[in-house]
Amino acid sequence: MRAKRAKSYRKAMQFYQQAFGFREPYQILVSPDFILAGASKQLPVKARLEEAVQGQAKFLVTHCGISELLKSTSNFRAQAITASKEFEKRRCPHQEPVPGLDCIKEIMGNENKNNYCVAVQDNDLRATLRTVPGVPILHVKQSVVVLERKSQVAKDASKQMEQDKLGLTELERSMLRAVKKQAKEAKGEKRKKKKKTAGPKAPNPLSIKKAAKKPQTAKTTTTPASKPGQAEKGVGSATISAMAVLGTKRSRPEDDTSTPTKKAAIASGNPAASEDVVKHKRKRNRSAKNRATEKDSVAVSQAPSS
């Protein structure tokens, strides 16, 4: 077989594999007229058929086919019968043998459920088989076993099957892909956003409460311990209140100059002394205020003249 033809046959059988699920060893249903044609050309039918399908094959002949060969009046009847004995016998539903071609026609039906290849010479049967999707048809042509080109029905059927498998047209699929992509991207963004907000803005509220409570409890426990220490030094409650009053104004540098006297008064535990200090402070504040108002009035009087 020429390389070019072998290649085209290989491609054809790949099509049947992909479109209709054909697998090696291919099952070739051989009709009695094909066996006779092969015998007349003295062809090694098995080898030629395997070449044509470019792979290993099982050869089947029906009971009706065998009975037809036995009844044959052809000059090549004997050779045909010996050739058919090498083939597997396929059961058919016919108790009484029917013509071999009719038997094959019935077995093939409209679907070729068993994924048979058919080797047949009869033109009518070949024409009928072309209407069944996915039937590789073989016949003897000038002492060569030929694999027919795949029929339009087979092509259409394979296309339809592909579409059924996917269930969508190309446009629908592309649209679906776009929608899926968008949905994926949106999901990804949402996840990212969630992560960002969840981190620093809203930590575990339970952890915050615990952290805030612990120092407070520590203070309450430590203060009573420190108080007895102060009592030992002999600081009275009155002096503590005075300290609180003074403590608010400690930031002023003027007060710092008088701290020795205050401290002395506080240390002595004399409430009168602390009162004096407060009075003195009030006086000073008043005088400072008066000075400020005087300055303001001067500024106001000068403003119009300038």
Q: Which is nearer to Zn ion, 62 or 84 (CB)?
A: 62
CB neighbour class for 209 (10 Å; exposed up to 12, middle 13-18, buried from 19): exposed
Among 92, 161, 238, 243, binds Zn ion (CB under 5 A): 92
Give the residues across from 88 on adjacent strands.
60
Q: Which is nearer to Zn ion, 19 or 108 (CB)?
A: 108
Among 45, 66, 103, 120, binds Zn ion (CB under 5 A): 103
Contact region for Zn ion (CB under 5 A) — 57-65, 148-156, 167-175, 293-301?
57-65
- Cα–Cα dist 46/89, whole Å: 15
Omega before residue 25 within 30° of 0, cis: yes
Q: Least distance from C-beta 25 to Zn ion, angstroms?
A: 23
Helix, strand, or coil here: 120?
Answer: coil
Contact between 30 and 122 under an 8 Å Cβ cutoff? The reply is no
Question: Which residue number places its CB atom closest to Zn ion?
Answer: 92
Q: Which residues inside 60-79 make contact with Zn ion, applying CB under 5 A? A: 62, 64
Site for Zn ion contains 94 (CB under 5 A) = yes
Contact region for Zn ion (CB under 5 A) — 7-15, 90-98, 112-120, 297-305?
90-98
**In the structure encoding, which two tokens stand for residue 88, read together?**
């597997």
Q: Which is nearer to Zn ion, 96 or 232 (CB)?
A: 96
Q: Which is nearer to Zn ion, 43 or 92 (CB)?
A: 92
Handedness of CA 46, 48, 49, 54 (dihedral sign): positive
- Cα–Cα dist 41/38, whole Å: 5
Q: Which is nearer to Zn ion, 107 or 135 (CB)?
A: 107
Which H or E element spans position 67?
helix 63-71
Contact between 12 and 147 under an 8 Å Cβ cutoff? The reply is yes
How many CB atoms within 10 Å of residue 254? 10
Tokens 């076993």, located at residue: 145
Build a one-symbol-per-residue string for 205-244: x at contacts with Zn ion by CB under 5 A, - elsewhere. Answer: ----------------------------------------
Site for Zn ion contains 43 (CB under 5 A) = no
Q: Which is nearer to Zn ion, 124 or 294 (CB)?
A: 124
Residues that bind Zn ion (CB under 5 A): 62, 64, 92, 94, 103
